[in-house]
Amino acid sequence: MNRTKIKLKIGEFSKLNMVTVKTLRHYEEIGLIAPDEIDKWTGYRYYTVDQLSKMNLIIYLKGIGFSLEEIKEIFEDGREMPSVDEIKQKLKECSDQLITLKKRADELSTLEDKLQKREIMEQIFIKSLPAVTAATHRRVIEGYQELFNLCPNVIGPEMARLGCECANPEYCFTVDHNEEYCSTNIDIEYFEAVAQRKEDSQMIAFKDIPAVKTAVCINHYGVYEALPESFAILYQHIEKNGFRITEKPRFCYIDGIWNKESESEWLTEIQVPVEKL
């Protein structure tokens, strides 16, 4: 008994395979899969039931990373499936892409974190700074990391020896006295507000620090190498709002390497004393 051969119009064939007619026409143009029959009078394109399997195979191979050109070469070689060597090559490409995507994801995460922190940093605030009596220590250090060893292990014990008590509320900051950028040999002065003046020692000098009526401040999150970004925001605000800088910036190290594991959590409050022009 003869079977009637089912003819599938291009629209029906596209629906059964869940691909667009435009895609099928493109596949025809590149010689990947062509209609079994084209009516010479109407131009209608007809596909066969057997071509459903071939189309499924094209979709499958495309889904696992084979290009249309590679699939076409497989078919032209009389094969339905890629060789083991071709699969190994695709596996290597996947591995390479995973490495690239991991790097890209890391960069995107860094950028996302940076932009989120920038939103926080851009919240500039103005406050007054109190008059304090401060225990101070000035020296040239090789880098800021040295400062975070100096404070607890050198300055702190000397202040304790002199009988110093920290003021309430606590207030400490540093001032960079260099006139230009220095990556090493940083002339830094440390200030710690104390409850009462004591006798100066070779290491500690006591100073009365007058109150600052207006200081433009910004919270800087992250590494100190990124401080220029915060300074750009801060100084633009100062200029835009008609302030004049009256003293060198103060750096209040609130969170850092001593209490936070992640550099993104380091918090430095930059305070710039100003007056209105």
Structure confidence at residue 182 as a pLDDT band (50, 70, 90)? confident
Does residue 38 lie in a domain region? yes
Lowest model confidence (mean pLDDT) among 1-5, 7-11, 271-275: 1-5
Mean pLDDT across 7-23: 92
The pLDDT value given to residue 89? 93
Q: In 3D, which of 188, 180, 237 has the Cα closest to residue 214?
A: 237
Mean pLDDT of 183-205: 93
206 touches 191 (CB < 8 A) = no
- 220 lies in some domain: yes
Q: How confident is the model over 223-275, as pLDDT tens digits?
A: 888 888 889 989 999 999 999 999 999 999 988 888 888 888 889 999 999 99
pLDDT score of 122: 59
What is the pLDDT at residue 3? 66
- Span 121-129, mean pLDDT? 83
Residue with tokens 């869940």: 18
Whether residues 258 and 183 fall in one domain: yes
DSSP string, the chain: -PPPPP-EEHHHHHHHHT--HHHHHHHHHTTSS--SEE-TTT--EEE-THHHHHHHHHHHHHHTT--HHHHHHHHHTT-SS--HHHHHHHHHHHHHHHHHHHHHHHHHHHHHHHHHHHHHHT--EEEEE--EEEEEEEEEESSHHHHHHHIIIIIHHHHHHTT--B-SS--EEEEE--SS--SSSEEEEEEEEESS-----SS-EEEEEPPEEEEEEEEEES-GGGHHHHHHHHHHHHHHTTEEE-S--EEEEEE-TTT-SSGGG-EEEEEEEEEE-
- The mean pLDDT value for 194-219 works out to 95
Query: Which pLDDT score, from 0 to 100, does residue 117 have?
Result: 60
Domain housing 37: 8-82
- pLDDT averaged over every residue in the chain: 90
Q: Are residues 252 and 133 in the same domain?
A: yes
Q: Clarify whether residues 168 and 265 are in a common domain.
A: yes
CATH code of residue 47:
1.10.1660.10
Query: For the segment 34-59, what is each residue's pLDDT rounded down to a tens digit?
Result: 999 998 899 899 999 999 999 999 99
Q: How confident is the model at residue 146 (pLDDT cuts 50, 70, 90)?
A: confident
Q: What is the mean pLDDT of residues 117-136?
A: 82
Tell whether 143 and 195 lie within a shared domain: yes
pLDDT at 20: 92
pLDDT at position 260 is 86
Residue 188 maps to a domain: yes
- The pLDDT of 89-104, averaged and rounded, is 92
Give yes or no: residues 14 and 51 share one domain.
Answer: yes
Residue 193 lies in a domain: yes
Number of domains in the chain: 3
Residue 78 and residue 94 in one domain: no
Do residues 102 and 167 both lie within one domain? no
> Does any domain span residue 226?
yes
| Structural domain contains residue 117 | no
Q: In the predicted model, is pLDDT for residue 120 greater than 60?
A: no
Among 148-157, 199-208, 263-272, the range with the most confident prediction by mean pLDDT is 199-208
**173 and 96 within one domain:** no
Verdict on whether the full-model pTM lies above 0.85: no
Task: Looking at the structure, tell me whether residues 65 and 98 fall in a common domain.
Answer: no
What CATH code is carried by the domain that includes residue 164? 3.20.80.10
Percent of the chain predicted with pLDDT > 70: 96
Based on the fold, state whether residues 96 and 206 are members of the same structural domain.
Answer: no
Whether residue 2 lies inside any domain: the answer is: no
Residue 1 is predicted with a pLDDT of 53
Closest CA to 138 of 72, 88, 186: 186
Write down the pLDDT at residue 137: 95
Tell whether 34 and 156 lie within a shared domain: no
Peptide bond between residue 157 and the one before it cis (omega within 30 degrees of 0): no
pLDDT class of 147 with cuts at 50, 70, 90: confident
The verdict on 87 and 75 lying in the same domain is no
